[in-house]
Amino acid sequence: MEVRAAAAADVEALVSLHCAYLREEGRPASADGARAAFTTLLANAALGAVFVAAEPAAEPVAHVVVTFGFSIESGGRDASVDELFVAPSHRGQRLGDRLMAEAERHCRASRVAMLHLEVGETRHGARALFRRAGFVDAGRSRMTKALGNGRGAA
């Protein structure tokens, strides 16, 4: 299993993985919205990066999405792990660890000062993975407001 940067040819597989992730979380999934978002992200490296785990010449079975931002508190460029998902059939192989390591390597090379993520309180396996990767609980809650310019629109 190799970890590599996602390419435009991976968009449909990424959409499938994304929708599976949202279903697992009990949230509604929009294939069209995800397709547009992945296409935009993969076409513009200034927005972030997507890495996948796949056998050579096979469709991805896991992915991580990192998006870039800027923060005064972080001291400049920061990034967020927007999504990490490993297909249930491929869990237990440390693919999440490998994807997170690649995301961190990419962020360091991109001069990111701080890498953030959010994880649900009941996602014990994911929380353990993120702790192994060096993440700590920042003691804050994330609040969100949809502004009507994307899938989060009401």
Query: Is 87 within the bounds of a domain?
Result: yes
- Over residues 31-39, the mean pLDDT reads 96
User: How many helices and strands (H and E) does the chain possess?
Assistant: 4, 5
Give the CATH number for residue 31.
Answer: 3.40.630.30
Query: Is 88 within the bounds of a domain?
Result: yes
Query: Is 138 within the bounds of a domain?
Result: no
Query: Is 137 within the bounds of a domain?
Result: no
For the stretch 63-113, pLDDT in tens is 999 999 999 999 999 999 999 999 999 999 999 999 999 999 999 999 999
pLDDT, mean over the chain: 93
Torsion-angle region of residue 21: left (phi > 0), alpha (psi -120 to 50) or beta?
alpha
Query: Is 141 within the bounds of a domain?
Result: no
pTM (2 d.p.): 0.92
Give the model's confidence band at 7: pLDDT under 50 very low, under 70 low, under 90 confident, else very high.
very high
Q: What is the pLDDT of residue 151?
A: 56
Domain count for the chain, please give it: 1
Query: Is 75 within the bounds of a domain?
Result: yes
Smallest CA-to-CA distance from 1 within 54, 70, 65 is with 54
State yes or no: pLDDT of 152 exceeds 60.
no
Share of the chain above pLDDT 70, in %: 97
Query: Is 6 within the bounds of a domain?
Result: yes
Query: Is 92 within the bounds of a domain?
Result: yes
Give the model's confidence band at 154: pLDDT under 50 very low, under 70 low, under 90 confident, else very high.
very low
Q: Which domain holds residue 93?
A: 2-132
